[in-house]
Amino acid sequence: MMQYQRSSALFNEAKKVIPGGVNSPVRAFKAVGGTPIFLTHAKGAYLYDEDGNRYIDYIASWGPMILGHAHPKVIDAIKSRADKGTSYGIPTELETQIAHLALSMVPNMEQIRFVNSGTEACMSAVRLARGFTGRDKIIKFAGCYHGHADAFLIQAGSGAVTFGSPNSPGVTAGTAQDTLLARYNDLDQVTDIFEANPEQIAAIIVEPVAGNMGCILPDEGFLEGLRSLCDLHGAVLIFDEVMTGFRLAAGGAQERLGVRADMVTYGKVIGGGLPVGAFAARKEIMDFLAPVGPVYQAGTLSGNPLAMSAGLAQLQLLQQHPQVYTSLDKKTEYLHQEMIPLLDRKGIAYQINRLGSMMSAHFTDSPVVDFASAAKGNNESFKKYFHGMLAQGVYLPPSAFESYFLNDAITQKDLEQTLEAFSKTLTRL
């Protein structure tokens, strides 16, 4: 029986000085109940909490730790760079090195600008698309999450929907009116929106594989259809690859799914576990960005040397060891395939969605293809599932609206242990 006394005490103390005791809402376990675990450290595939419990980690810091925690090469890069100073606000060669490497790994992008988070990347990409096209409106999809900038908190997924505020108070009506909403995987609706707003739509922003309403795959032809509509109407197609970038393949979803975007946003894996976001596009678009062009965007910690070192080290590892992607796919597929007979035997309604090392389980009998179908999942079953797994040392995302992210340090033994925990948990659902 796991004990959580120290985590519980630390959570109570944190709540006195930090809203809800956390710096990002999903971490508070509000959607699943109980006390969030507080960590002392993480290594490889494992998380270690303040009460001495060990967990197999299936969130990988929500994506970045694709090679497992505290990879020696990434840690060495950070340590050796730290001795040289941690922030200058003046360029370094490191920024050009990681830019070259990132651009060589992803298809179709000519220039990249580094920022500090996925939120900043998406916010800046939309501003640039507006500056480039001279138009105001954007199309986003219900349940997609592009960070917490105002324009995106309209039917947003992830933590926003987990806590029942997909339309956040504080976002002005003026901002909301420029964000046009469509259903994920509904191309006809996007066509109608374009027709109803001629020459007003600057961009479509989309998660090519949605990871913020659980994991939801694009239907065949959906992304290709968005590509054609953007071409037809002169709008910019922005792929939010904050989750999928450098994860579904070295070249992200663009490579894996064979559809090219005009602009792509990155985060998570690109920073090796330090705060990095980035947005990339062809030069013609990036030329609109300051200091070359008129669209302003800046940041004291952008291109921070520690963050660039961590990101560069992790991208180099991924480039040198492309077999990581096959290995991750195999592990995730094994987990997926072995869960199926256990669920079937239990006779419970379920859907499992997966692509590469992103996956989610939903307790519902209808296919999960968009936000409305994701929201049909039985949350009571999800809560028991989450806590059953946690109590047996498996850390899953503490919300049904988040994706699992596997890391390559997970071993076959860890997968067997996870499936054993899964089998026992199912008996209690």
Contact 279, 132 (CB under 8 A): no
Q: What is the nearest approach in angstroms of ligand HOZ to the Cβ of residue 389?
A: 18
Comparing CB distances to ligand HOZ, the nearer of 68 and 143 is 143
Instruction: For residue 266, state whether it binds ligand HOZ (rule: CB under 6 A).
Output: no
Comparing CB distances to ligand HOZ, the nearer of 161 and 421 is 161
Instruction: For residue 158, state whether it binds ligand HOZ (rule: CB under 6 A).
Output: yes
Specify the stretch interacting with ligand HOZ by CB under 6 A; choose among 23-31, 197-205, 291-299, 382-390. 23-31
Which position among 178, 207, 402, 414 is part of the footprint of ligand HOZ (CB under 6 A)? 402
Which position among 133, 155, 185, 212 is part of the footprint of ligand HOZ (CB under 6 A)? 212
Instruction: For residue 381, state whether it binds ligand HOZ (rule: CB under 6 A).
Output: no
User: In this structure, what token pair is assigned to residue 400?
Assistant: 């049904």
Which position among 10, 21, 26, 356 is part of the footprint of ligand HOZ (CB under 6 A)? 26
Residue nearest to ligand HOZ (CB): 24
The active-site residue, picked from 49, 57, 178, 240, is 240
Total residues at the site for ligand HOZ (CB under 6 A)? 8
240 is catalytic: yes
Specify the stretch interacting with ligand HOZ by CB under 6 A; choose among 24-32, 188-196, 329-337, 340-348. 24-32
283 is catalytic: no
159-178 binders of ligand HOZ (CB under 6 A): 159
The active-site residue, picked from 268, 331, 383, 384, is 268
Specify the length of the chain in residues.
429
Instruction: For residue 62, state whether it binds ligand HOZ (rule: CB under 6 A).
Output: yes
Instruction: For residue 353, state whether it binds ligand HOZ (rule: CB under 6 A).
Output: no
145 is catalytic: yes
The active-site residue, picked from 55, 58, 145, 266, is 145
Comparing CB distances to ligand HOZ, the nearer of 63 and 305 is 63
List residues near ligand HOZ by CB under 6 A.
24, 26-27, 62, 158-159, 212, 402
**Active site members:** 145, 240, 268
